Amino acid sequence: MAKITIKDVAREAGVSISTVSNALNDVDVLNPVTKSHVLKVAKQLNYVPNLNGKQLRSGKTKMLGFFTTSVSGPYFYKLVESMSRECDRLGYGLNVFITKDKQVIMSNILGRRVDGAIIYEELRIDEEDISAMEEEKIKAVFLDRVLHNETMGSVIFDSFVAGYEATKYLISLGHKKIAYISGVDTMFDSVERKEGYLAALRQYQIPVIEDYIMQGYFEEESTYNAVKSFLHLHPDKVPDAFLAGNDLSAIGCIQALKTLGYGVPLDISVMGFDDIDIAQYYTPPLTTVRNQIAKQGILAINQLVRLIQKKEQGVVQKLACELVVRGSSHVKINSD
Amino acid sequence: MAKITIKDVAREAGVSISTVSNALNDVDVLNPVTKSHVLKVAKQLNYVPNLNGKQLRSGKTKMLGFFTTSVSGPYFYKLVESMSRECDRLGYGLNVFITKDKQVIMSNILGRRVDGAIIYEELRIDEEDISAMEEEKIKAVFLDRVLHNETMGSVIFDSFVAGYEATKYLISLGHKKIAYISGVDTMFDSVERKEGYLAALRQYQIPVIEDYIMQGYFEEESTYNAVKSFLHLHPDKVPDAFLAGNDLSAIGCIQALKTLGYGVPLDISVMGFDDIDIAQYYTPPLTTVRNQIAKQGILAINQLVRLIQKKEQGVVQKLACELVVRGSSHVKINSD
DNA sequence: CTTTGCTATGAATGCGTTTTCATGAGTTAA
DNA sequence: TTAACTCATGAAAACGCATTCATAGCAAAG
């Protein structure tokens, strides 16, 4: 049997197409008897509305798109999970697009496959595309870029404060020689964390030593190598503590220190960022800074829906971080 | 400015709508000069085709849907990543729907928002829905259910063999008293793993002891409690080894054993399933059985696309597992 | 010079739905 | 009795596009 359409339901129920449409969409102009009759027939025929027809006509899809370059790692699935739940609550569907192709993003948004977009794309969308989106009054919320105008906004982590607070904590343990293992310098959070680190040092009048800032690229292995070669080169400059750009980097750092015979945390404190799943199971358990990932998802979806409903203009929302103290950090033991 | 449609491009280029359509869709009947002119005008106007119109008319969306009840945990993101990559390669988009509402699944599939579906839904779709899908010739591939007909197939892990091989390995280490910590008995993989365990014991003529089979529900804490209370109740029946339903469960088990003063692996071997990220970082690193998650994703997408293109009927594909030996297992030390 | 065949293009139709507007029946007021 | 007004329903248009089919133009064949 061919696909049942609204037409078939109308014929079978002995009413017009528009009556069927009104019945299905709860438009309150119908005689209750007619309505229930139509619904009964529809159910009996196993009628399912064609979403493409519906969307074409109404101009709405009731779908939100999450566009991201990657979905691996706990950040993404926690985010996706919270957004998904919030979408359910608000009567929207969530659509996850994983792609590095900017074209895909633009054609899906501008081609109206979704009513609005949450975007995490590591800064690949350039000003020109932003303008195109602005022109078309596309509704979007960015998770890794600070931006707000009539139809677009942001929800981001306050990574500057995260870097600042982490450093302040290490200082409070008595550490002065604090090394920083930088992440990827093109990423927003990476840059902000480092700035926070630098700001804290300045605040407590601890001189910034360039050699103490190394590149870990957010990876375990790169960090392992970086830390090892640093200590090889500067055996006289062993830091009191390492602040790594993220937890994976912190693990690489600790592995290197273990290999070289340093005890963590007794000889050297190490901390990271993110509080990934592994952090609490690692030996020693990682001291780290946790972001409110679920909250970011919830705020983003809510702002997006408000934008779609034109209840407000775009805003920038910043989320506070949370220090998680575990076993990889320790008060400075005076070894003089 | 209002949204640009194909009509505007046609007017501006001085040609008909159909010519624009042919130019954009690479239909090879056009004069190359006309074609390039049309494309130039389209680009100049920043024309982006409305996907709803396109899809309604063509009956195709070039989108595949992944329907799942959850996206948390490494299994899902690894799966999603591999499927996404494969979709890209084949010229499809991937659409992730996270929902526990069966209705959402059915209306998206039957409402033709996607050309085909990959389904992981923990057996919530009943026979009636399967029939409805069959009737409509919906193309679908299931990841947690064995099923094949003209338009639907499956790609699953051979969890029976996984359970069998894991048990066989523990036996090869000299263990005889092997306890099993069961997962969730409504889930396909969980049941199969346990059957494999039982089959291996039978094979090597080791009697099955009912007390050695406990419930861990795939959770760390449940397992922790189960193991603790078991050893409390049966101090005379300490097993040589524990085979846990998954890695999280194995971790719970090891925590309990540590607490009670048993050494892992010297006193007791423990192993799990899945090889989650934490497994290699845990102390001791977990011996486990790894599934070919990425391969599952790739096979599923490819089968689905073949079904859509009507190149073949649905089939059931089973994936072999892989034993990963790490530090949580050890040859039996005779303590007599 | 007419006919045939071929190519490039345009007019028109329809995909399945929502939505606007008209219509006819029934009710009330004058 | 008739005009005015409700109210439930239906006819038809429109959303943006792909696609079918007709046709104009032109070259080759008769």
The 10s digit of each residue's pLDDT in A159-178 is: 999 999 999 999 999 999 99
Whether B48 and A282 lie within 8 Å, measured CB to CB: no
Q: Which residues of A touch B97 (CB under 8 A)?
A: 93-95
- A4 falls in which pLDDT band (50, 70, 90)? very high
Q: Which residues of B touch A282 (CB under 8 A)?
A: 281
* pLDDT value, residue A103: 85
* pLDDT value, residue A108: 93
Whether A50 and B81 lie within 8 Å, measured CB to CB: no
Whether A95 and B94 lie within 8 Å, measured CB to CB: no
Quick check: B336 pLDDT over 60?
no
CA dist B318 and B56 (Å) reads 36
Q: Is residue A140 part of a domain?
A: yes
Shared domain check, B285 and B179: yes
Nearest to A95 among B3, B95, B282 (CB): B95
Shared domain check, A77 and A24: no
CA dist B177 and B171 (Å) reads 9
Interior CA angle at A41 toward A35 and A46, to 5°?
Answer: 125
Shared domain check, B123 and B241: no
Q: Which residues of A touch B102 (CB under 8 A)?
A: none
Q: Is residue A68 part of a domain?
A: yes
Whether A93 and B96 lie within 8 Å, measured CB to CB: no
CATH number reported for the structural domain that contains residue A247 in this entry: 3.40.50.2300
Range of the domain at B31: 6-49
CA dist B301 and B134 (Å) reads 19
In chain B, % of residues over pLDDT 70: 99
The total number of structural domains in chain B stands at: 3
Q: Which residues of B touch A51 (CB under 8 A)?
A: 107-108, 111-113
The 10s digit of each residue's pLDDT in A37-86 is: 999 999 999 999 999 999 999 999 999 999 998 887 778 889 999 999 99
CATH number reported for the structural domain that contains residue A36 in this entry: 1.10.260.40
Quick check: B129 pLDDT over 90?
no
CB pairs under 8 A between A and B: 117
| Nucleotide minimizing C1' to CA distance for residue A56 | D15
Mean pLDDT, chain B, whole residue set: 93
Mean pLDDT, chain A, whole residue set: 93
The 10s digit of each residue's pLDDT in B164-182 is: 999 999 999 999 999 999 9
Shared domain check, B299 and B231: no
Q: Which residue has the tokens 């007794």?
A: A266
* pLDDT value, residue B74: 80
Signed CA dihedral, A107, A111, A112, A113: sign only: negative
Alpha helices in chain A (DSSP H): 6-13, 17-24, 32-44, 51-58, 74-90, 102-110, 127-135, 159-172, 188-203, 220-233, 247-259, 277-281, 293-308
Shared domain check, A104 and A67: yes
Q: Is residue A89 part of a domain?
A: yes
| CB-strand contact B58/D, under 7 Å | yes
Distance B72 CA to C26 C1' (A): 60
Q: Is residue B332 part of a domain?
A: no
Whether A101 and B88 lie within 8 Å, measured CB to CB: yes
* pLDDT value, residue A252: 97
Measured in whole angstroms, how far is the alpha carbon of residue B82 from the centre of its chain?
A: 10
Bases on strand D under 7 Å from any protein CB: 8-20
Tell me how long chain A is: 336
* pLDDT value, residue A109: 92
Quick check: A1 pLDDT over 60?
no
Shared domain check, B206 and B90: no
Ramachandran angles phi, psi of B289, nearest 5°: -120, 125
User: At a CB cut-off of 8 Å and minimum separation 6, what does B61 contact?
Assistant: A52, B51, B55, B112, B113, B114, B115
How many of the other CB atoms lie within 10 Å of CB of B298?
18
Q: Is residue B45 part of a domain?
A: yes
The residue whose CA lies nearest the C1' of nucleotide C12 is B18
In the three-class reduction of DSSP (H, G, I as helix; E, B as strand; rest coil), residue A64 is classed as: strand
| Nucleotide minimizing C1' to CA distance for residue A47 | C16
User: At a CB cut-off of 8 Å and minimum separation 6, what does A122 contact?
Assistant: A69, A144, A186, A187
| Nucleotide minimizing C1' to CA distance for residue A22 | C18
Identify the residue among A79, A134, A281, A328 best suited for mutation to test binding to B, counting B beta carbons within 10 A and taking the highest: A281
Q: Is residue A203 part of a domain?
A: yes
Q: Which residues of B touch A79 (CB under 8 A)?
A: none
* pLDDT value, residue B223: 98
More confident residue, B288 or A26: B288
Q: Give the pLDDT mean for B298-313.
A: 96
The two structure tokens encoding residue A35: 């309505």
| CB-strand contact B50/D, under 7 Å | yes
Whether A96 and B112 lie within 8 Å, measured CB to CB: no
Q: DSSP letters along B25-91, please?
A: TT-TTS-HHHHHHHHHHHHHTT----HHHHHHHHS---EEEEEES---SHHHHHHHHHHHHHHHHHT
Shared domain check, B270 and B163: yes
- B123 falls in which pLDDT band (50, 70, 90)? low
The 10s digit of each residue's pLDDT in B140-159 is: 999 989 999 999 999 999 99
Q: Which residue has the tokens 């040859």?
A: B331
Going along chain B, which residue ranges are E strands? 63-68, 93-98, 116-120, 140-142, 152-157, 178-182, 213-215, 241-244, 269-271, 288-290, 316-319, 322-324
- A335 falls in which pLDDT band (50, 70, 90)? low
Residue-wise burial string across A175-204, b where 16 or more C-beta atoms lie within 10 A, e elsewhere: beebbbbbbbeebbbbbbbbebbbbbbeee
Shared domain check, A68 and A37: no
Shared domain check, B277 and B164: yes
Q: Is residue A329 part of a domain?
A: no
Quick check: B1 pLDDT over 60?
no
Q: Are A82 and A90 in contact (CB under 8 A)?
A: no
- A14 falls in which pLDDT band (50, 70, 90)? very high
More confident residue, A42 or B125: A42
Q: Is residue B283 part of a domain?
A: yes
Q: Which residues of B touch A106 (CB under 8 A)?
A: 48
* pLDDT value, residue B335: 59
Shared domain check, A163 and A284: yes
| Cα radius of gyration rounded to whole Å, chain A | 27
Quick check: B122 pLDDT over 80?
no
Signed CA dihedral, A2, A6, A9, A15: sign only: negative
Quick check: A336 pLDDT over 60?
no
Shared domain check, B188 and B109: no
Nearest to A93 among B49, B52, B97 (CB): B97
Q: Give the pLDDT mean for A105-111.
A: 91
Nearest to A77 among B72, B84, B104 (CB): B72
Shared domain check, A197 and A144: no
In chain A, % of residues over pLDDT 90: 81
User: At a CB cut-off of 8 Å and minimum separation 6, what does B26 contact?
Assistant: none
Q: How close A85 comes to chain B (CA, Å)?
A: 8
Q: Of B291, B308, B331, which closes a domain?
A: B291
Quick check: A291 pLDDT over 80?
yes
The two structure tokens encoding residue B74: 């490494």
The 10s digit of each residue's pLDDT in B187-219 is: 889 999 999 999 999 999 999 999 999 999 999
